[in-house]
């Protein structure tokens, strides 16, 4: 009765009618009008309820529902957040389109799980009903994105380099040998980056043990990635160091004279004699380095004359730029006062030594590093011979140590992933960790048994060289004297 | 491992509503898909997305490609390049890892700035800050989507200005292919110890380097983007915001031997926007109007389907009306009847 009265009054007001109270009373007392008004109110309520249901469905459809990315061939599991279900008054929730993705959905726990078989961006369908929808109501649909990433390790291709190309080089190379009382194993491998592009290994190495006077010389070089013939630059740099020792230094007996001075020092402890020996040693090594520099220049000139068309890069000022390579050299001999180790370095490849008791490590050269990669220096650059900031003489070193457990020469393909920054090369514990890693203390449990026969140790080193390191896919060269 | 940070600074002003924003949204998703096939990029490239309209916001914080989930792009009112740049510099300061003795820092970051219009704010302070603090430490590529961008302003930020001449689907597709190629070449370049910034070749006819000297508009500061008229409205039924977008057309006519151009705006579409619209819109009062005589075409309400999306209350609120006799303005609550208007009248427009 009251409801009918209120309703009709409101209707009249809306229609801007003058309200006659007795007429209004008559209408609202009439049963037929009471029924009609009730019907109107029922219909309105139904419309409102439907409106609410539709709004809930639209709201949930507009809600951003995210599931985390998965990776191909790695177990996936994600449990949906129940607060979303509550917020949108969802009464039933299911997923569709999972079969081809290799996933299943557990409605009880709200967990989506399985093994993604392929990679890519996919859609999955949420099937849902909201509060107010009947038992038999059709399920509403909402599409959401699901992303399966490829396994990054599987993306790297291994394309052989072109054997017909100028200055072609073997992709991997290794050796093992004895150096007097010590052993040496060296491995050099083409980086994944070059494998992926079918380009050449830019790293190189050379070594020789001279039986007649027991000196050993080891050279390691890293060709600049941006220089088109750096693979040859690194090769020539290493080989020319060895051949200069063989053809010039040893025949001239210069090293014998230095050794005599060191013997004298071991007896007299006369520091002046030691300094003299050191200066002489640096001069000897300097000549070898200058020789290597000149040989690359000659090669560059000759290559230019024969293949001028290949020298087409902008902003180059001399031909040897096409052969840019770093260089580290170590000449070593056991003498009366212990091991004499002469070193030279240009570029960012370290030479490190660890003492016999494995309690102390030392970096024997300093590295040319710069903030944005441009800071490194090459044996091919004339400027290194007369730089004021980085005097040539400081690149040479003579180190004497009674005995050692390991002596390492490596390119940045090893140093970057294993030491990361220059400062770590100054830390003994980092070198000891490095030895542990070499002996198998790593993710893959792959190591070198340094007491094994040489060919076996060489094979183990080759195997170890394939370690995985995210973002580090440069050529790798490592020489170990032990 | 060194990261190669890539920042996208994207104009999401109202003129981007509709096709451009979905092209950008799909384009970014495609870039990520494409980079996932390149193992080098997958391991070194990190991506962040910053959007700006009247306000700026980080849509995707700097993260690797593996964790990247394609975002939904919002729109807002205004083209505040100053706020966009300011927010970018804030993110760069916050995220960039510097090289020290103890750690290897990031490679030089690359910023792709996409804009389709002229700034509606005074961006000069932010531009000066960019010039003095970031121009050398980051590589910025400015891209004009369509003809609307101001080459003079972009040129103060970078020498690399690219013009996407057509803005149809295939042009956008080629453009985003070029962006992902540029990211790939750059990630390869950092590995070879080069500068780490190498844009791919502009092989498409739809892309060209922008010639600043040919931009005739000069260095005036524009306060409104005139290529589009965008009108913001409120749905009477759902109380949601929607935008009606009109694109400028100049009709050439010849009157008594004198060349005349009549400017008008043709309906491009009506789009519902969500709550981020308010968040991204500048809050200063704007009094810009357009006469309805200049507007061609009228949409239906994209929120509730009402037949007329373009009704104006006396409070200036634009809203939708259906066939109800009495309409309630969703802005001021006024109730009243609407009759068809005769003649043109001025309505508020946004800055675009
Ligand atoms: Zn509406
Ligand atoms: Zn109003």
Looking up tokens 């002469």 gives A342
B309 C-alpha to center of ligand 1: Å? 7
- Least confident segment among A359-368, A424-433, B71-80, B187-196: B187-196
Maximum distance among all Cα pairs of chain B, rounded to whole angstroms = 78
Exposure class string for B128-165: b at 16+ Cβ within 10 A, else e: eebeeebbeebbbbbbbbbebbbbebbbbbbebbbbbb
**Neighbouring residues of B82: CB distance < 8 A, sequence distance ≥ 6:** B119, B121, B122, B123, B124, B125, B126, B127
Q: Is the pLDDT of residue A281 over 80?
A: yes
Question: Which SS3 state, helix, strand or coil, does residue A80 take?
Answer: coil
Closest partner CB to B2 (pick from A71, A121, A471): A471
Interchain contact, A121 vs B38, CB within 8 Å: no
Size of interface A-B (CB pairs under 8 A): 84
Checking if the pLDDT of B270 tops 50, the result is yes
Return the higher-pLDDT residue of A66 and A289: A289
Instruction: Please state the ipTM of this predicted complex.
Output: 0.74
CA distance B286 to chain A (A): 30
Residue A92 has φ and ψ, to the nearest 5°, of -140, 145
Q: Give the pLDDT mean for B136-143.
A: 89
Ligand 2 centre distance from Cα of residue B334 (Å): 6
Phi and psi based region of residue A219 (left: phi greater than 0; alpha: psi -120 to 50; beta: remaining): beta
Partners of A418 on chain B (C-beta within 8 Å) are: none
User: Mean pLDDT across the stretch A465-474?
Assistant: 91
Supply the DSSP symbol for A223: B
- What's the pLDDT at B287? 64
* Across A169-197, average pLDDT: 94
Q: Note the pLDDT of residue B95.
A: 93
Lowest mean pLDDT among A54-63, B265-274, B335-344: B335-344
Q: Which of B44, B72, B105 is opposite residue A471, by nearest beta carbon?
A: B44
Task: Compute the distance between CA of residue A263 and CA of residue A465 in angstroms, rounded to an integer.
Answer: 40
Nearest to B101 among A226, A372, A422 (CB): A422
Provide the token pair at A471: 């973002």
* Overall average pLDDT of the B302-320 stretch: 86
Q: How far is the CA of B224 from the centre of ligand 2 (A)?
A: 25
Task: Quote the distance between the C-alpha of residue B303 and its chain's center.
Answer: 23
Q: CA B7 to CA B30: how far, in whole Å?
A: 16
At B285, the pLDDT band (50, 70, 90 cuts) reads: low
Looking at residue B221, its pLDDT comes to 44
Q: Which of A71, A423, A474 sits opposite B101 (nearest CB)?
A: A423
DSSP annotation of B194 reads: S
Per-residue pLDDT, B282? 76
State yes or no: pLDDT of A480 exceeds 80: yes
Q: Is A344 helix (H, G, I), strand (E, B) or coil?
A: strand
Q: Minimum mean pLDDT among A239-253, A449-463, B107-121: which range?
A: B107-121
pLDDT at residue B189 tops 90:
no
Report, as an integer, the average pLDDT of A51-68. Answer: 85
- Reference B78, options B222, B287, B280; nearest CA is B280
Average pLDDT over residues B46-60: 95
User: Beta strand A182-189 with A476-481: parallel, antiparallel or unpaired?
Assistant: antiparallel
- pTM to 2 decimal places: 0.80
Taking contacts as CB-CB distances below 8 angstroms, the residues of chain A near B1 are 469-472
Higher pLDDT, B240 or A458: A458
Q: Kind of pairing, strands A396-401 and A140-149? A: unpaired
Q: pLDDT for B287-307, tens place per residue? A: 678 888 888 888 999 888 888
Contact of A473 with chain B, judged by CB distance below 8 Å, is answered with: yes
pLDDT of residue A259: 93
Q: Does A470 touch chain B (CB under 8 A)?
A: yes
Mean per-residue pLDDT for B17-33? 89
Q: Give me A260's structure tokens.
A: 């005599």
- Taking the C-alpha atoms of residue A416 and residue A434, their distance in angstroms, rounded to an integer, is 12
Count CA atoms closer than 13 A to A402's CA, side-chain side: 4
Rounded Cα distance, A438 and A479, in Å: 12
Amino acid A471: pLDDT: 84
What confidence score (pLDDT) does residue B193 get? Answer: 59
- In this model, does residue B210 exceed pLDDT 80? no
Q: At a CB cut-off of 8 Å and minimum separation 6, what does A248 contact?
A: A287, A288, A291
Q: Give contacts of A145 with chain B, Cβ < 8 Å.
A: 69-70
pLDDT above 70: residue A342: yes
The CATH code that applies to domain B4-209 is: 3.40.50.410
Residue B253: band (very low, low, confident or very high) from pLDDT cuts 50, 70, 90: low
- Which residues in chain B are contacts of A224 at CB distance < 8 A? 192-193
Domain ranges for chain B = 4-209, 228-348
- What percent of chain A clears pLDDT 90, i.e. is strictly above it? 66
What are the φ and ψ backbone dihedral angles of A275, each rounded to 5 degrees? Answer: -60, -40
Rounded distance between C-alpha atoms, residue A97 and residue B188, angstroms:
38
- Tell me, what DSSP letter sits at residue B133? I
Which ligand sits closest to the CA of B315? 2
Considering chain B, what is the average pLDDT of its residues?
Answer: 83
Closest-approach residue (CA) in chain A for B101: A423
SS3 assignment for B222-247: CCCCCCEEEEEEECCCCCCEEEEEEE
Say what the pLDDT of residue B196 is. Answer: 64
pLDDT at B317 over 90: no
Whole-angstrom distance, CA of residue B71 vs CA of residue A77: 21
Q: How confident is the model at residue A422 (pLDDT cuts 50, 70, 90)?
A: confident
Among B28, B30, B38, B40, the residue to mutate for chain A (most A Cβ within 10 A) = B40
SS3 category, A134: coil
Which residue in A has a C-alpha nearest to residue B196's C-alpha? Answer: A372
Q: Mean of the per-residue pLDDT values for chain A? A: 91
Would the pLDDT of B194 be above 70? Answer: no
End-to-end distance of chain A based on CA atoms, in angstroms?
Answer: 107
Nearest one of B147, B83, B26, B9 to B281, comparing CA atoms: B83
- If pLDDT is split at 50, 70 and 90, which confidence band does A372 have? very low
Give the separation between CA A81 and CA A58, rounded to whole angstroms.
19
What share of chain A has pLDDT > 70, as a percent?
99
Query: Above pLDDT 70, what percent of chain B?
Result: 86
Q: Using the mean position of ligand 2's atoms as its centre, give its distance from the Cα of residue B328 in Å.
A: 8
Q: Return the SS3 of B207.
A: strand
Mutate one of B45, B64, B69, B187 to test the A interface: name it (highest A CB count within 10 A).
B69
pLDDT digits (tens, 9 = 90+) for B62-112: 999 988 888 889 999 888 999 999 999 999 999 999 877 778 888 889 999
pLDDT digit string (tens) for A70-93? 988 889 999 998 888 888 899 989
pLDDT on residue B167: 77
pLDDT band at residue A216 under the 50/70/90 scheme = very high
Residue with tokens 């709550």: B275
* B65 vs A contacts (CB less than 8 Å): 149
Q: What is the mean pLDDT of residues B18-30?
A: 89
Per-residue pLDDT band for A316 (boundaries 50, 70, 90) equals: confident
Which pLDDT band, with edges at 50, 70 and 90, does B220 fall under?
very low
Coil, helix or strand at residue A162: coil
- Of A275, A468, A432, the closest CA to residue A360 belongs to A432
The minimum CA-CA distance between B193 and chain A, rounded to whole Å, is 5
Residue A145, chain B, CB below 8 Å: the answer is: yes
Q: Token pair 């004699």 is at which residue?
A: A273
Q: Which member of B42, B191, B274 has the closest CB to residue A62?
A: B274
Integer Cα distance of A311 and A321 in angstroms = 10
**Residue A343: pLDDT band by 50, 70, 90 thresholds?**
very high
Q: Do A472 and B104 touch (CB under 8 A)?
A: no
Count of residues in chain B: 352
Instruction: Tell me the chain A residues in contact with residue B104 when contact means C-beta distances shorter than 8 Å.
Output: 416, 420-421
User: Highest mean pLDDT range out of A41-55, B9-23, B204-218?
Assistant: B9-23
Handedness of CA B215, B218, B219, B220 (dihedral sign): negative
Q: Which ligand neighbours the alpha carbon of B303 most closely?
A: 1
Q: What is the DSSP string of B45-100?
A: EEEEEEEESSSEEEEEEEEEGGG--PPPP--BSS--HHHHHHHHHHHHHHHPPPP-
pLDDT of A1 above 60: no
Q: Is A105 helix (H, G, I), strand (E, B) or coil?
A: strand
Lowest mean pLDDT among A402-416, A440-454, B338-352: B338-352
């Amino acid at each position: 009765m009251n409801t009918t009265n209120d309703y009709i009054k409101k209707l009249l007001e809306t229609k801007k009618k003058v309200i006659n109270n007795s007429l209004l009373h008559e209408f609202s007392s009439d049963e037929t009008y009471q029924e009609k008004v009730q019907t109107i109110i029922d219909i309105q309520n139904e419309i409102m309820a439907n409106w609410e249901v539709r709004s809930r469905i639209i709201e949930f459809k507009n809600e951003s529902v995210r599931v985390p990315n998965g990776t191909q061939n790695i177990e996936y599991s994600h449990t949906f957040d129940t607060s979303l279900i509550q917020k949108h008054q969802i009464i039933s929730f299911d997923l569709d389109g999972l079969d081809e993705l290799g996933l299943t959905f557990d409605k009880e726990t709200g967990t989506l799980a399985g093994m993604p078989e392929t990679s890519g961006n996919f859609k999955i369908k949420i099937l849902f009903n909201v509060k107010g929808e009947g038992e038999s109501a059709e399920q509403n649909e909402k599409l959401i994105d699901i992303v399966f990433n490829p396994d990054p390790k599987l993306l790297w291709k291994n394309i052989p380099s072109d054997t017909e190309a100028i200055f072609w080089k073997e992709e991997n190379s290794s050796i093992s040998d004895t150096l007097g009382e010590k052993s040496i194993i060296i491995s050099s491998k083409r980086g994944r980056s070059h494998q992926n592009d079918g380009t050449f290994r830019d790293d190189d190495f050379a070594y020789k043990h001279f039986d007649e006077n027991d000196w050993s010389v080891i050279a390691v070089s890293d060709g600049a990635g941006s220089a088109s013939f750096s693979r040859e630059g690194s090769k020539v740099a290493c080989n020319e160091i060895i051949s200069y020792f063989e053809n010039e230094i040893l025949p001239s007996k210069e090293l014998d004279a230095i050794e005599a001075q060191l013997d004298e020092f071991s007896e007299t402890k006369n520091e002046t004699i030691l300094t003299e020996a050191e200066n002489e040693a640096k001069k000897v090594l300097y000549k070898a380095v200058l020789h290597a520099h000149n040989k690359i220049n000659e090669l560059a000139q000759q290559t230019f004359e024969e293949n001028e068309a290949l020298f087409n890069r902008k902003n180059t000022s001399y031909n040897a730029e096409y052969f840019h390579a770093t260089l580290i050299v170590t000449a070593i001999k056991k003498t009366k006062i212990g091991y004499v180790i002469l070193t030279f370095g240009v570029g960012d490849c370290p030479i490190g030594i660890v003492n016999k008791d494995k309690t102390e490590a030392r970096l024997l050269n300093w590295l040319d590093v710069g903030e944005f990669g441009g800071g490194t220096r090459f044996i091919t650059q004339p400027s290194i011979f007369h730089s004021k900031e980085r005097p040539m003489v400081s690149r040479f070193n003579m180190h004497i140590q009674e005995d050692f457990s390991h002596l390492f020469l490596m390119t940045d393909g090893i140093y970057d992933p294993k030491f990361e920054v220059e400062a770590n090369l100054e830390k003994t514990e980092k070198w000891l960790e490095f030895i542990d890693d070499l002996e198998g203390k790593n993710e893959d449990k792959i190591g070198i048994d340094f007491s094994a026969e040489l060919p076996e140790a060489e094979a183990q080193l080759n195997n170890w060289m394939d370690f995985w390191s995210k973002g580090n896919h440069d050529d790798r060269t490592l020489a170990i004297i032990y | 491992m060194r990261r190669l940070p890539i920042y996208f600074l994207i104009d999401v002003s109202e003129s981007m509503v509709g096709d451009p924003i979905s092209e950008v949204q799909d384009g970014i998703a495609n870039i990520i898909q494409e980079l996932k096939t390149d193992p080098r990029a997958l391991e070194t490239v990190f991506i962040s997305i910053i959007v700006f309209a009247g306000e700026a916001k980080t849509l995707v914080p700097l993260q690797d490609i593996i964790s990247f989930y394609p975002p939904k792009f919002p729109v807002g009112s205004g083209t505040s390049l100053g706020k966009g740049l300011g927010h970018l510099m804030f993110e760069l300061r916050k995220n960039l890892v510097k090289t020290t003795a103890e750690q290897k820092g990031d490679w030089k970051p690359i910023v792709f700035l996409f804009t389709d219009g002229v700034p509606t704010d005074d961006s000069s302070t932010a531009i000066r800050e960019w010039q003095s603090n970031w121009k050398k430490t980051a590589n910025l590529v400015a891209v004009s989507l369509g003809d609307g961008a101001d080459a003079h302003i972009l040129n103060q930020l970078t020498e690399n200005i690219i013009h996407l001449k057509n803005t149809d689907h295939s042009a956008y597709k080629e453009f985003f292919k070029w962006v992902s190629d540029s990211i790939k070449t750059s990630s390869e370049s950092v590995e070879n110890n080069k500068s780490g910034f190498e844009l791919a070749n502009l092989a498409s006819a739809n892309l060209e380097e922008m010639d600043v000297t040919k931009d005739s508009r000069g260095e005036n500061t524009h306060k409104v983007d005139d290529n589009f008229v965008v009108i913001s409205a409120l749905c009477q039924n759902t109380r949601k915001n929607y935008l009606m977008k009109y694109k400028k057309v100049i009709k050439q006519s010849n009157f008594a031997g004198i060349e005349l151009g009549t400017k008008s705006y043709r309906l491009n579409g009506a789009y519902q926007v969500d709550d981020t619209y308010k968040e991204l819109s500048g809050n200063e009062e704007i009094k810009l109007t357009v006469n309805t005589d200049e507007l061609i075409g009228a949409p239906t309400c994209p929120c509730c389907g009402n037949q007329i999306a373009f009704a104006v209350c006396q409070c200036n609120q634009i809203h939708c009306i259906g066939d109800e006799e009495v309409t309630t303005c969703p802005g001021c609550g006024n109730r009243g009847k609407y009759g068809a208007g005769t003649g043109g009248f001025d309505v508020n427009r946004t800055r675009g």
